[in-house]
Structures are given as C-alpha cells and as structure tokens.
Chain A
Amino acid sequence: MASAHTQALPRPTLRRRPAFSLRRWTEREGVFSWLMVIPPALFLMALVGYPFVYGIWLSLLDRPVAKPGVFIGLDNFITALHDPVFWRVAQNTFVYTFAATALKMAGGLALALVMNQEFRFKNLIRAVMLLPFIVPTVLSTIAWMWILDPSFSVINWFLVHWGITKPGPSWLGNPGWAMFSLIMVNTWRGLPFYAITLLAGLQTISPELYEAATIDGASTFARFRYVTVPLLKPVIFIVTMFSVIFTFSDFQLVYVLTRGGPANATHLFATYAFDVAMSGGQFGLGASIALSMLPPLALLIAGMAWYMRSEKT
C-alpha cells in the first residue's frame, strides 16, 4: 500500500508518458469491480465461509470438546441416522417450517393487501406492524413465556372467564399444544417481514393494470387472481425462500420457551445440535446434526427456484 501511495504522487522530474495515476487505475471497470467485490467477499469468507467449512470438517471428526479430534469419515452421520431422536427432530423441523411458513404467507399477504389500501393513520399503522420484527426475539419470547404460562396466561384467563374451558390448555406442557404454540409465536414474529416485503411488491404494480382489468369487468377476486398474484410472484418467492431458511434453522424461540421439551416434542435441528455439541461436549456429532439441515434445505430451495423458472418460460 505504501508503494502505491508514493507512486501515486506526481513526479515533476519525469516527463515521459503520462504518469501512472491511482485514480485512473481504480476507475477502470475491471479494477473497480474487483475492488468493490473483494471486501464483501473476504468478509463473507471469514464470517460465513470459514465456519461453514470448519463445520463440515468437524462433522467428519470424533471431536469431544477441548480434546483433539480423530478423523472418522461419515461415522457421525451414520450415528445420527440411527438415533431415534434425530428422526423426531427432523419431523418436528419440517412440521414447524411448513406450518409456520404457510401461516406467515397467508397472513402476510392479507396484511399487505390491507396495508395497500388508503386509510387514516396508514403510515403509523405500518410502522406499528413492524414491532414484532424489531423487538429482539429473546425479549419478545420472554413476553410469550408469560402469555403461555399456565398460571399467568392471559389467554387461559379469557378462556376460563368466558367458560370455554376449565382449566385452560397446558400450552407448553402438552406435546401437541407446545408445537402449536411455537408455530404461533414464530408466525407472529415473522409476519411483519412477509407483510412489509409483499407490500413493497404490491406498490410496484401499476394501478393502470387494475384500471384496465376493472374496465374489462374483472371482479375484485379476479383482479387479485390475474393481476396481483402473477406480478407478485417473484417477491413471494424471495420472501418464502428467506422465511424457510430462517424458520428451518430457528433456535432462539425454542430455546427460550421449551428447550426442546416436552420429551423432544419441540426439538429442532438447531437446538438438538446445540445440546449435543455444547451440553454433551460432542462437537463432531453436533456438527453432523447441524449439517443434516443442509441437504433438505438445498433441495427445497432448488425446487422452488426450478418452479419459478418453469413459470417464467
């Protein structure tokens, strides 16, 4: 770097061809584009690439915490596949991801359509809508802990008060309800992301298209079906992809609310991998469980991308 600086300084004594100029050099497209790409690429490599590759390497080792590892090939994966809890965890993760994503999609789209209308305090309400997304998950989840708490649950208070049930359901104690509750909390947290992204998509749709459709006699539903949905599809695809990835690898919610209980009914890949690696001190096995998320996720994303492409052509 130091030499570049000294060269960049104009040297009045030399008057052959135009002196090398750092500015001109960096303005060349080939150079400039690399200059722009390298910092983020290095950043990604250091913070994402390295842990990822290290994770793959760990998963191939028998590697207890604070002890040297021994290379064992795919043994960890074979062990995980023979673990009954692993399959329970896989099933939980899929149920959790599909249910939460579907709910977020439906709710988010509805919310976006409403927000796209003209009404009073629109901007304020749009801002308020983002709250669940802004509040740190651990904090909001603690609030949910109280909402779902058997003794203090406001939901149960209403249920009992109106005479619907007595006593209210055990939201986190019953295996079925526990999964249901987690899906609800995840939906609550993820909905604004869907809504705001879809809203941005909706606003790019030209009003003229709706006008034209209306003149042609299209009903509200027909306008939604034949104008809104096709034009919104790319946005829906992106937002669903993100959501699937984040939901699939969710950790905080489960860790705060149930830590995978009751009897593994809410354990997901991320929480199970963490328990095995950190509490159990088995880094290799933990890494292999975490990495098991990769193939199904990759397939899912590839499938969605393929679907989008075939739609276009």
Chain B
Amino acid sequence: MASIIRATSRRDVLKIAGVGGAGALVGARSGRAATKNLSFMHESSFIQTYDDFFKKTLVPEYAKATGITVDYQLISVGSLQTRMATAAETGNGPDMTLAFFNWPFLFDEKLADVSDIADEIGKKNGGWYDSAKEAVIVNGKWKAIPFGNVGQIMNWRSDWFEEAGIKEFPDTWDAFLEAGTKLKKAGHPFGLELGHGFGDNHGWLYPLLWSFGGREVEPDGKTIVIDSDETARAVDYCRKLFHDAILEDCLGWTDVNNNKAWMSEQISCTNNAESILWFAKKQFPDIAEVTQQSLNPQGPKGRFHILAPWSHAIYNFSPNQKESKDFLVWLMDPKQVERWYAAADSYYAPYLHAYDDAPLWHVEKRNLPYRDSLKTSHLPGWPAPVSRQSSESVAKYVVVDMFAKACTGRSTKEVIAEAKAQLQQIYKQA
C-alpha cells in the first residue's frame, strides 16, 4: 500500500479507492512513478496575473522538467487559516500550503523542518532579510520558506495634498496630523481603518504604537508594559488624528472598505498594500495617476511598519515531503521565482537580497517604499517573540480596540487600563 501512496498522491488514492476499488488500485500500481502529483494550497491573490502565471507557466514547466504535476489549489480570500487548521487538525490535506503572518508558529508542530533548503535557497539568492527570519524560524528551525512581504504603507492623493499646499508626504506623525486636518477641512478626510479587519488596521496602528515607544510586552515575552507614558501619547495622538483628520466610518471598517472609499474618491490617504495602486491602474486610471505611496510617518522613537509575510510550508504528515522540498527549491530558484515575483509587479516584496534592485522594482517606481519598509517591519507583538499569547492578543484586537475606544471618546487612562487587563488575562497574570 505504501508504494501505491508513493506512486500517486494521497488524494488520488482516495479518488481511486472511491471510484473503482481494488481494480483501479491495480491499475495505479502499474502506472509509472512519473505520474506523481503534488498539491499546493494557496489563497486567491488580489493580483490575478500572479495566480495565472503559476498555473499557466510554472506548473507546465515543472511537469516538463520532472514529470510531476503540481495541483495549485486556490481557495477564497479570507479562508486560508480555517483550511490550514482543518488540514493540521485532521492530518489530511495538501502537501504544501501558503501561510500568512505568524502562522508557522501557530501550526509549527504540523509543519516539516525546512532549514536545510532554506539555507540553500538563501545562498542562491544573496541571503535572507532578517525580517523574514522573524516570521518563520520557530525554536531555531525554519518552518516555512519565506516568499514575500505584502507590506502596508501610506497611500495618498497627490492632487488633493497639493491643493492643500503640501508637496511632500509628511515625514512625522505631527506633520501627518497637520496635513490631515487641512485635508479633512477641505472635504478630503483620511481613511485609516480602526475596525476589526485583519490587515489594514494593524498595518498602521502597531507602527503608530511602536514609533511613540509603546509596546505590549517586553522582549522576554512576559512582562506587560502597555501601561506607559509612551502608549498614552500614542493614544492621545490617535484620538486627535481621528477627530481632526479621519472619516468617522473608519471605526466600523473591515479591510474592504478603504479600497472602496479610495476608488470612489472619498478619502485622501489610507494605509494599504500595493494592490490599491495595482487595482486603480486597471480600473480607475485617473485615480491611479494621482495615487502616491510613502513610508509610514515616524514618531519620537522611530519609523515602523507591519510585517505581513507570505511563506510556503510543507505539512509533516505529507507522504511527499522530499518531493515537496525539491519543488520549493526549484520554485525559489532565481530562474523561476524572479518571474513569479514579477508577475505581480512588486506586490510580494522578496525577502531575498538578490532582488533588492531587481527589474521588478523599476516597473513602478511608486512601489519602491514597499521594499524600503522591509528594514523596519515587525510582526504584531514585537519586540516579544511570536507566541500563542501574542497571537491571541491580535485575534482579540487588544491594540486596535485600545485606539478605537479612545477614538469613540473614552479616556486614555481607561482604554489603556482595559488593554492592560486583557493582556494580563491573556498572559495569565490576572
């Protein structure tokens, strides 16, 4: 039986068993090992050309080179985590999967150690960015191969900024507030999400907290330090920014809203990934023309961005781990991966230094800040290492809601005390 499973993927064995029973199994046995399949689970990309390139170019190329067909299983946006959890829980699913954010940590016990190929891939491509390591190395082992960063920076309307007399994008949060105040008065408020989405809220609120010097916990991953003067200043700032510069609806936004508001010209600045410009170029060329992108403003303690890694992991229950590793090595070879990156312009900022000045960055100069943001990007919960507690804090929107509550008019002291109580409960120190 084992040899049959090797000969085809487990999915095929199931199919065969379901359809024809023993007779079909005999047929499978006589088949050649060259008909092997690998399954690769991915979430549909906002950049359609990226998925198309994989399906139409990379899959046939790999089949031609090795005889192995890669089954690229696309699932709908927003459901990857549930699907990954189902596979991990049941020990049944694809051989390889895409993983976001800190998921290599959440699922580490079900993911194969890929340290060996990570080294190999790094060497071939000029070395890994440090931020990539922050996202996938769990207890000293690489649990996924970092692919690219879907960074979040500030997207702004150059025409309206100019009308308000602002030529350059504000470099500090104070200047940002000043600009926002002018623009809101002119009928072009900022649209920064303060609701329960999964990306566009964290994308600017964690950096805001960090750049004022606020932290949830110390690097030891235990000591809760949210209740600080630095946090208080960040909260005060956010309340004022909300009141003077931001659209009220942002409190109830999820991740779709800022894109809608952008394309309907309701807002003059938002925090989003590169997809907003990509989409505008396809559908709303007039808006694309006046869309600019800049790094997040800096605060008294520096400039920060959110790390939003995409990585590829191999399930340790897969019977095809060796083949999956071979595939990932092939995929991450410059000959392949450079073209795949380029298929999405620079939406997935490579974590490999060999691409620091690659042609993909020169297709659209306005995307360069996404590359530069990598150096100052961290996962939520930073500077503490990723842990189940930090993941729970993100899922419960502790930091986002601390700011959001302040924006609804609650006192700084109160909202910080509530965030602290939540963290104490999460870190079991209540």
Shortest B399–chain A CB gap in Å is 12
In the complex, what distance in Å separates the CA atom of A285 from the CA atom of B392? 10
Which residue of chain B is the closest to A146 with respect to CB atoms? B260
Stretch of A39-47, A78-86, A92-100 contacting B (4+ beta carbons < 8 Å): A78-86
Which residue of chain B is the closest to A68 with respect to CB atoms? B109
In the complex, what distance in Å separates the CA atom of A83 from the CA atom of B422? 6
Interface string of A274-295 (1 = CB under 8 A from B): 0110111110010000000000
In the complex, what distance in Å separates the CA atom of A264 from the CA atom of B397? 9
In the complex, what distance in Å separates the CA atom of A199 from the CA atom of B81? 44
Within 346-395 of B, Cβ neighbours of A (below 8 Å) are at: 388, 391-392, 394-395
Contacts of B252 in A (CB 8 A): 170-174, 178, 258, 261-262
Which bucket holds chain A's interface residue count?
35 or more
CB of B247 closer than 8 Å to a CB of A = yes
- Could you tell me if B408 and A263 are in contact, using CB atoms closer than 8 angstroms? yes
Which residue of chain B is the closest to A66 with respect to CB atoms? B88
Known: A85-B396, A281-B388, A282-B388. A261 touches B196 (CB 8 A): yes
In the complex, what distance in Å separates the CA atom of A64 from the CA atom of B421? 22
Q: Which 10 A-B pairs have the closest CB atoms?
A: A280-B395, A172-B252, A261-B195, A262-B251, A279-B395, A261-B196, A173-B249, A66-B88, A259-B196, A173-B252
Known: A83-B422, A173-B250. A65 touches B405 (CB 8 A): no
CB of A149 closer than 8 Å to a CB of B = yes
Which residue of chain A is the closest to B105 with respect to CB atoms? A281
Q: A263-B404, A276-B395, A280-B396 are in contact. List 14 more A-B contacts (CB 8 A).
A: A65-B107, A66-B107, A66-B110, A79-B428, A82-B425, A149-B260, A170-B251, A258-B195, A261-B194, A261-B251, A275-B395, A278-B395, A281-B391, A282-B388
Within 119-160 of A, Cβ neighbours of B (below 8 Å) are at: 149-152
- Could you tell me if A259 and B197 are in contact, using CB atoms closer than 8 angstroms? yes
Is chain A's interface secondary structure helix, strand, loop, or mixed overall? loop
CB of B34 closer than 8 Å to a CB of A = no
Query: 16 A-B Cβ contacts within 8 A?
Result: A66-B110, A150-B247, A152-B260, A170-B249, A172-B249, A173-B247, A173-B253, A178-B252, A259-B197, A261-B404, A262-B404, A263-B404, A276-B395, A278-B81, A281-B85, A282-B395
Contacts of A173 in B (CB 8 A): 195, 247-253
Instruction: List chain B positions with a Cβ less than 8 A from chain A.
Output: 81-82, 85, 88-89, 106-110, 194-198, 247-254, 257, 260-261, 264, 266, 388, 391-392, 394-397, 401, 404-405, 408, 418, 421-422, 425, 428, 430
Shortest B110–chain A CB gap in Å is 5
Contacts of B428 in A (CB 8 A): 79
Contacts of B248 in A (CB 8 A): 150, 170, 173-174
CB of A260 closer than 8 Å to a CB of B = yes
Known: A84-B421, A259-B195. A65 touches B106 (CB 8 A): yes
Shortest A180–chain B CB gap in Å is 12
Shortest A216–chain B CB gap in Å is 55
Choose among B106, B194, B428 the residue with the greatest number of A CB atoms under 10 Å from its CB: B106
Shortest B421–chain A CB gap in Å is 6
CB of A107 closer than 8 Å to a CB of B = no
Shortest A86–chain B CB gap in Å is 9
Within 250-278 of A, Cβ neighbours of B (below 8 Å) are at: 258-264, 275-276, 278
Shortest A291–chain B CB gap in Å is 18
- Could you tell me if B404 and A79 are in contact, using CB atoms closer than 8 angstroms? no
- Could you tell me if B194 and A262 are in contact, using CB atoms closer than 8 angstroms? yes
- Could you tell me if A259 and B388 are in contact, using CB atoms closer than 8 angstroms? no
Contacts of B247 in A (CB 8 A): 150, 173
Contacts of B253 in A (CB 8 A): 172-173, 261
Instruction: List chain A positions with a Cβ less than 8 A from chain B.
Output: 64-67, 79, 82-85, 149-152, 170-175, 178, 258-264, 275-276, 278-282, 285
In the complex, what distance in Å separates the CA atom of A54 from the CA atom of B137? 33
- Could you tell me if B405 and A263 are in contact, using CB atoms closer than 8 angstroms? yes
Shortest B190–chain A CB gap in Å is 14
Contacts of A279 in B (CB 8 A): 81, 198, 391, 394-395
Choose among A82, A278, A280 the residue with the greatest number of B CB atoms under 10 Å from its CB: A280
Shortest B146–chain A CB gap in Å is 20
- Could you tell me if B396 and A276 are in contact, using CB atoms closer than 8 angstroms? yes
- Could you tell me if B408 and A262 are in contact, using CB atoms closer than 8 angstroms? yes
Which residue of chain B is the closest to A145 with respect to CB atoms? B256
- Could you tell me if A82 and B264 are in contact, using CB atoms closer than 8 angstroms? no
Contacts of B260 in A (CB 8 A): 149, 151-152
Shortest A289–chain B CB gap in Å is 11
In the complex, what distance in Å separates the CA atom of A171 from the CA atom of B249? 8
- Could you tell me if A264 and B401 are in contact, using CB atoms closer than 8 angstroms? yes
In the complex, what distance in Å separates the CA atom of A178 from the CA atom of B408? 13
Contacts of A82 in B (CB 8 A): 425, 430
Shortest B391–chain A CB gap in Å is 6
Contacts of B388 in A (CB 8 A): 64, 280-282
